[in-house]
Structure 1
Amino acid sequence: MQVIAALICRTLLTATLSLFAFHAFAEEAPHIHVVDGDTLDVDGVRYRLHGIDAPEPGQKCKSASGGTWPCGKEASKALTDLVKGGSLICDDRGKEIRGRTLSVCTIDGVDINAEMIRRGMAWSFKKYSHDNDQIEEIAKAKLVGVWQAQTERPGNFERTNGKIGSKKLPMVAQ
């Protein structure tokens, strides 16, 4: 009987300690909000992903079939999927003109900036960086995402249409 009581006490103690450890970990996880395909808010800091330019939230891109697809919305969704459930680290490369922190972000060691280009959800922003030019060439050759048909770049789209569809997308990743 004493052995059973000791096992029950040990099990309850282990379960209680596990709950405290989980609670402490959950409180430390960053609050991540995807603003658009190349911008993240992490614990109140707005990060602009360095060296990439994703379609604007309201932007539509031409598809291989001749129609259009909501590339801006899909880029935001792709970034949301990338930042879910891992350990996010964003470096600080200084501020850009809008006050956002320029950054290369990784999640569990995967370069998110490069991955957005690899998936065809962003262009290499050659005006500011050539870090991902080779990855872009591969995506372009595979005709993925924005490369499936000739598409207007975000800067041109924004100048022509304004910042359409720039509402915040709800997202919390931990």
Structure 2
Amino acid sequence: MKCWAHCWLVLALSGHWGAQASEVWTGWVSWVMDGDTVLLVRHGQLEPVKLRIDGIDAPEICQPGGVQARDAMTRLALRKSVEVDDRGQDVYGRQVGRLSVDGVDLGAEMVRSGMAWAYRFETGKGPYAGLQRQAQTQKTGLFAAPEVAMSPHVFRKFHGTCHGN
């Protein structure tokens, strides 16, 4: 079998065709920027890493609910030891990953409590869509006032980010 055919077969059978390998590492959260972005220090390193939490989209800090979402993430993560399932970088150069404290998925907690939307870049539907429907049905968190709750994706289309980009 020619090398290219063999390599293709190995990749296809192993499920790695187009998949991005993730790396798991630990650190501690030094700052919460908003409901879906934190600064954390990887154990053994000095420089903080800006991490965008995968699978969620929290309100912009300047939109209604933004401060509440940031405060919710602060309660969950600030100054705590975390495990990061690193998924690589997004289009803005930020690290993207799943974040957990003592085995609790913080992205899931943010959506479950109604402080963030389930979101996946480009497709819009994230891994926590069921939790979002539950929060909306129960009118939890930001969904308590559905006429005010605007997804950050829509907010940015009309108003841009809070930082002017």
Query: TM > 0.5 between the two?
Result: yes
- The counterpart of 2:131, out of the listed 132, 135, 156, is 135
1:21-40 aligned within 5 A: 30-40=28-38
Query: Structure 1, residues 137-174: CA drift from partner, whole Å, max 9, x if none?
Result: 211111011212132211221222222269xxxxxxxx
Structure possessing the higher relative contact order (Cα contacts under 8 Å, 6 or more residues apart) = 1
Query: Structure 1, residues 44-68: CA drift from partner, whole Å, max 9, x if none?
Result: 11111101000000101xxxxxxxx
Give the unaligned 5+ runs of structure 1. 1-28, 61-70, 167-174
Which amino acid counterpart does residue 145 of structure 1 have in structure 2? G
1:115 offset after TM fit, Å?
A: 0.1
Q: Distance in 2 between matches of 1:45 and 1:93?
A: 13
Contact kept, 8 Å, 2:29 with 2:82, in 1: the verdict is no
TM-score scaled by structure 1? 0.67
1:87 offset after TM fit, Å?
A: 2.5
Matched-pair identity in %: 34
Q: Distance in 2 between matches of 1:83 and 1:128?
A: 25
Aligned to 2:87: 93
Contact kept, 8 Å, 1:94 with 1:101, in 2: the verdict is yes
1:3-82 aligned within 5 A: 30-43=28-41, 44-60=48-64, 71-82=65-76
Q: Does 1:152 align with 2:156?
A: no
Q: Distance in 1 between matches of 2:66 and 2:40?
A: 21
Contact kept, 8 Å, 1:117 with 1:135, in 2: the verdict is yes
Assess, with a 3 A threshold, how the Cα gap between structure 1 residues 84 and 40 changes in structure 2: closer, same or farther. closer
TM-score scaled by structure 2? 0.71
Q: How many pairs are equivalent?
A: 129
Q: Distance in 1 between matches of 2:87 and 2:34?
A: 19
Off by >4 Å, runs of 4+ in structure 1: none
